[in-house]
Amino acid sequence: MDTLQYLADGFSVAFQWHNLLFALVGVIIGTAVGVLPGIGPMSGVALLIPVTATITSGMPTSAAAASSIILLAGVYYGAMYGGSTTSILLNTPGESSSVVTTLDGYQMAQQGRAGAALAISAIGSFCAGIVALIGLILLAEPLSNVAVKFGPAEYFSLMLLGLAAVSGLAGKSMTKALIMTVLGLMLGTIGIDAVSGIARFTYDQPILYSGLEFLTVAVGLFALGEVFKTILEKDDETGAIAKIHRIMPTKQDMKDSALPIARGSLLGFFIGVLPGAGATLASFFSYMTEKKFSKNPETFGKGNIAGVAGPESANNAASGGAMIPLLTLGIPGSGTTAILMGALIMYNIQPGPLLFDEHPEVAWGLIASMLIGNLMLLVLNMPLVRVFAKIIETPKKYLLPLIVAISFFGVYAVQYTTFDLFLLLGCGVLGYLLSKNDYPVAPLVLALVLGPMIENNMRRALTISNGEFSIFFTKPLSLVFIIAAVAWLLVPLLLKLRGRKVIINEEG
């Protein structure tokens, strides 16, 4: 069994003491990020990229990339655990994928069952994480074997599909989402063209030759945008935090949530694999499914534990599932995975089918560390739930300026120019204005990461076909991707025309 051998190698990477430490730090920070309202997984991961980049700077590239991605992925799925805490205790979701958890979770807390709700969401998240990982392990090899056969035309169409999927589901207006996508692609063309070596849109400014740094843009748009929003819109002080009495769920609770957890995990995983449909959508669907399956649907919204267990498992499974297109195809399906991909590219490691051959220690090390990380989260979350709940009380007056300072440090430590600091501030203002007016910023970041790859593959394909655009439609796989991309954009539009309410994905 090749896969088992690779997995064993992966574990030997993940069990190196510094990688264990990285995973631990990642999941702790991730939980904190999930708990703190205002910082979502996306800004959390973006903020930590520069920090991990400096910590790992002394290591060989491949090992450094493995360690960084272990930490960053830990933040990503750790945030899924943490997000439920505020939903249950405060009725305010820490991030968008925990919105439905508030429905029954807060009710449970009101009835004095906060501990059980928290515990069941931790257990559910753990099971889901494991299901997603098994899926990842099973699908990774076959998928990347298929993807190896892709030519530039297939890649171009596949990336178009990725962009279309994210734009089609993001935000309230598809026009706005598409504008953001195109804008991201445009920003990606700034700098020296990789194929011909010609400077584009640089206007003789040497600082622009290497292009706009994706990290600066992402941190600015997400982290600073969020900070500026919180400073400008002083929100009302949050209400009282529900008390946690007893943490262990009762036998009846466990019995009631076993099936919802199983269903939520599977559902979440498959939704996560689809590009564009992220954790938020997964948790939403899971809630609806549970309500349908339940013998007494009227108890939903009044503290039914299945309404916590299902969605919480689903959002965690989705975050694991989202790693599949990223690792095997090199196509991030969401804002956060786009940022993870940007981090890998910073280390000169290209996610995609060749990742498993060229850098098995990165791919399998990450997979193995996710298993360990999920276990850590379960162990940490059960006894420490009270401690994490305390993080909610961190005063904003200290938190917000510190986030600005951390992003300054991060960007400067990687880029060494004050130009990037000004760019960072500019992106922060832009990020605030855009997301306030329903322009989703996740597609922009995704497009910025994918832009150069899309362009290169397009030009390579066109060079093969002597400039005939028909190459994208005559290759069968490429045609399938393009049809899927068009469908992804048209179907929601058609549904809207027929007056249906379309569920949108506000997470990145």
Partner 1 sequence: MNKKFDQFAGVAFLLVGILFLVESQKISDSAYGSSVGPKIFPMWLGIILIALSIRLLYETFKIKSEESKKEKLQYKKFLIIFVSAVLYAFFLEKIGYVASTFLFLLIAFQTMERRKIISSLLISAFFAFGVYYLFSELLGGSLPGFPLV
Residues in touch with partner 1 (CB under 8 A): 54-55, 57-58, 172-173, 175-176, 178-179, 182-183, 185-186, 189, 193, 195-196, 198, 200-201, 228, 231-234, 396-398, 400-402, 404-405, 408-409, 412-413, 416, 418, 421-422, 424-425, 429, 433, 436-439, 455, 458-459, 462-463, 466-467
Minimum distance from CB of 253 to partner 1 (Å)?
Answer: 41
CB of 117 to partner 1, least distance (A): 33
Provide the minimum distance between the beta carbon of 421 and partner 1 in the complex, in angstroms, as a whole number: 4
Among 64, 140, 33, 41, smallest CA distance to 339 is for: 41
Residue 475 token pair:
């290759």
- The total of other beta-carbon atoms located within 10 Å of residue 156's CB is 26
Q: How far is the CB of 238 from partner 1 (least distance, A)?
A: 16
CB nearer to partner 1: pick between 57 and 250: 57
How is residue 203 annotated by DSSP?
T
> Which residues make Cβ contacts (< 8 Å) with residue 76, sequence separation at least 6?
30, 41, 45, 319, 336, 337, 340
Angle (nearest 5°) at CA 324 between 87 and 355: 135
Residue nearer to partner 1 on the CB measure, 191 or 360:
191
Placement of tokens 């940022």 in the chain: 339
Query: What residues are paired with 200 via a beta bridge?
Result: 191
Residue 173 DSSP label: -
User: Which residue lies nearer to partner 1 by CB, 248 or 402?
Assistant: 402
CA torsion through residues 350, 354, 360, 366, sign: positive
Locate tokens 């655009």: which residue? 469
Task: Please enumerate in sequence order all residues whose Cβ is within 8 A of that of 144, keeping only pairs 6 or more positions apart, or say none.
Answer: 327, 328, 329, 352, 353, 354, 355, 356
Rounded to 10°, the helix 396-415/225-232 angle is 150
Q: Which two tokens stand for residue 28?
A: 């702790």
CB of 424 to partner 1, least distance (A): 8
- Helices 114-148 and 251-273 sit at what angle, rounded to 10 degrees? 30
From the CB of 208, what's the least distance to partner 1, in Å? Answer: 13
At closest approach, how far in Å is the CB of 149 from partner 1?
A: 23
DSSP state of 97: G
Q: Measured from the CB of residue 182, what is the shortest distance to partner 1 in angstroms?
A: 5
